[in-house]
């Protein structure tokens, strides 16, 4: 019997020609490669390179939160949690939304805990989109959106954020909406560009959503990681948006526990219930002992993420300066873990080829933005660098890049 070919068989490093039409992989996953984050982190390990690719911090979040998880395990909270999440975490999420954004939530019907924001987004897409319906996304898009939209049999309709500013083109957004559109999926603060959508951009999205009566899914995982006084405004707080919006957050990003995979979705009861209807058939329920620990984080460690944002801003500035000095054009991000640069100054038109060669040339791993675009030309020359890393590692990364021959 022929062995099934896992999705991981299609690697960027083996070229796009490696698409396996003949495999047993279902059509909805064909042509969707291994996640670039897995691929680049594996490359970092196999080449012993510094990983400025995948967005995870080198330093864990508050020790007291780890202790709370250990305590939860020791005190027997090791069996299935209630499907929508443990009550204290749902209450803590409701309190967080009130204190930061003035959003009043019923923790019983308007909050659902997910296995990371990834599951929240997947459940939302599966819950709200019928086969053939279109979902508008900002491109460059987070890679899981593409797979999830395909799994739902839906169709993505990207609206491109273009260098150098990566702002929303409101006309392009309006043109993207039609009677086939069912939803808009918005990510702000935006990975990989670092754009934090401002009020007038959010108002434009709201106007389109209301005009076409769309569901809106917002991926707000970097809500607290914004710089220079920029403000993250949840789209659900704009007029006409509450009743049509589910908002998705991640404790991984807010508290530097990306490996815990705890996130949550909030919104009006009917939408949260629909999302939960899908979530229950994905994981049924999320990791039990981690949930009281994240409740502890939200109630006791609210100072953590403000401090983290300050530290990230300093690291951003350092890395941007270092990359600029090497001769790259740097697009300074307003938020997130990431800075995007243009590598065409080195004679590289193709950021993917640049990134695949970088471990050998410099002992550093970065991520090519072009894999997040349908309009590959718009992202071909762009490369993303993560600065959520220890300062010594960032310094060493710049030192290695400076010592390497980066010319095409
Ligand atoms: N959305 C975006 C934009 C991300 O960058 C990430 C990576 N953390 C996720 C979703 C996934 O979050 P989680 O790890 O909580 O599943
Ligand atoms: N969100 C992180 C990034 O953009 C990685 C998460 C993942 O690996 N799926 O790099």
Q: What is the pLDDT of residue 408?
A: 85
Q: What is the pLDDT of residue 22?
A: 55
Q: Provide the pLDDT confidence category of residue 13 given band limits of 50, 70 and 90.
A: low
CA of 43 relative to ligand 2 center, distance in Å: 15
19-23, 193-197, 204-208: which range is least confident on average?
A: 19-23
| CATH code for the domain defined by 30-55+304-403 | 3.90.1150.10
C-alpha dihedral (339, 124, 117, 16), degrees to nearest 10: -50
Cβ 218 under 6 angstroms from ligand 1:
no
CB–CB of 309/226 below 8 Å?
Answer: yes
CA of 385 relative to ligand 1 center, distance in Å: 16
Share above pLDDT 70 across residues of the chain, in percent, rounded to a whole number? 95
Q: What is the pTM of this model?
A: 0.95
Q: Map out the domains of the chain as residue ranges.
A: 30-55+304-403, 63-300
DSSP H helices in 235-302: 251-254, 269-279, 290-300
Mean pLDDT, range 10-35, rounded to an integer: 73
> Please, what is the average pLDDT of the chain?
95
Q: Provide the pLDDT confidence category of residue 23 given band limits of 50, 70 and 90.
A: confident
SS3 content of the chain, % helix, strand, coil (to 5): 45, 15, 40
The residues, ordered by sequence, that sit 6+ positions from 2 with a Cβ below 8 Å of its Cβ are: 24
Query: Do the domains at 30-55+304-403 and 63-300 have one common CATH topology?
Result: no
Q: Provide the pLDDT confidence category of residue 14 given band limits of 50, 70 and 90.
A: low
For 314, other C-beta atoms within 10 Å of its C-beta total 12
The string of pLDDT tens digits covering residues 77-130 is 999 999 999 999 999 999 999 999 999 999 999 999 999 999 999 999 999 999
Per residue in 22-37, is it b (16+ CB within 10 Å) or e — as a string? ebebeeeeeebbbbbb
The secondary structure element, H or E, covering residue 368 is: strand 367-368
Architecture of domain 63-300: 3-Layer(aba) Sandwich (3.40)
DSSP string, 160-181: E--TTT----HHHHHHH--TTE
Q: Provide the pLDDT confidence category of residue 131 given band limits of 50, 70 and 90.
A: very high
pLDDT of residue 341 exceeding 80, the answer is yes
The string of pLDDT tens digits covering residues 154-187 is 999 999 999 999 999 999 999 999 999 999 999 9
Q: What is the pLDDT of residue 1?
A: 33
Ligand 1 pocket test, pick from 61, 114, 222, 250 with the greatest ligand atom count within 8 Å of Cβ, gives: 250
Mean pLDDT, range 219-230, rounded to an integer: 98
Q: Provide the pLDDT confidence category of residue 3 given band limits of 50, 70 and 90.
A: very low
CA of 54 relative to ligand 2 center, distance in Å: 5
Residue entry with tokens 């993207």: 176
Q: From the CA of 116, which ligand is nearest?
A: 1
pLDDT of residue 308 exceeding 80, the answer is yes
């Amino acid at each position: 019997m022929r062995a099934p070919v896992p999705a991981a068989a299609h690697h960027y490093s083996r070229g796009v020609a490696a698409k396996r039409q003949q495999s047993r992989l279902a059509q909805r996953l064909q042509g969707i490669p291994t996640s670039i984050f897995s691929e680049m982190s594996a490359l970092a390990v196999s080449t012993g390179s510094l990983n400025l690719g995948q967005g995870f911090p080198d330093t864990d979040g508050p020790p007291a939160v780890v202790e709370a998880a250990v305590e939860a395990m020791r005190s027997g909270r090791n069996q299935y949690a209630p499907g929508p999440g443990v009550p204290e975490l749902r209450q803590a999420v409701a309190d967080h939304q009130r204190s930061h954004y003035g959003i009043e939530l019923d923790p019983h019907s308007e909050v659902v805990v997910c296995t990371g924001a990834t599951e929240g987004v997947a459940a939302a897409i599966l819950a709200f989109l019928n086969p053939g319906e279109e979902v508008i996304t900002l491109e460059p898009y987070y890679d899981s959106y593409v797979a999830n939209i395909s799994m739902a049999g839906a169709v993505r309709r990207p609206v491109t954020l273009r260098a150098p500013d990566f702002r929303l083109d409101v006309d392009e957004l309006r043109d993207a909406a039609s009677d086939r559109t069912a939803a808009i999926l918005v990510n702000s603060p935006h990975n990989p560009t670092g754009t934090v959508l401002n009020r007038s951009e959010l108002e434009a999205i709201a106007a389109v959503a209301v005009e076409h009566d769309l569901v809106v899914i917002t991926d707000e995982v970097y809500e607290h990681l914004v710089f220079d006084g920029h403000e993250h405004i949840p789209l659900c707080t704009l007029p006409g948006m509450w009743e049509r919006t589910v908002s998705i957050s991640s404790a991984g990003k807010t508290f530097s526990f990306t490996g815990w995979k705890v996130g949550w979705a909030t919104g009006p009861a009917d939408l949260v219930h629909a999302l939960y209807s899908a979530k229950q058939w994905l994981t049924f329920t999320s990791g039990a002992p981690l949930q009281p620990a994240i409740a502890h984080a939200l109630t006791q460690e609210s100072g953590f993420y403000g401090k983290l944002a300050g530290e990230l801003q300093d690291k951003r500035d350092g890395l941007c300066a270092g990359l600029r000095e090497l001769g790259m054009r740097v697009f300074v991000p307003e938020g997130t873990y990431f800075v995007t640069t243009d590598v065409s100054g080195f004679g590289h038109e193709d950021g993917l080829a640049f990134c695949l060669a970088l471990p050998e040339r410099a002992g550093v791993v970065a991520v090519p933005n072009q894999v997040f675009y349908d309009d590959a030309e718009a992202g071909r020359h762009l490369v993303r660098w993560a600065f959520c890393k220890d300062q010594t590692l960032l310094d060493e990364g710049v030192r290695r890049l400076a010592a390497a021959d980066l010319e095409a």
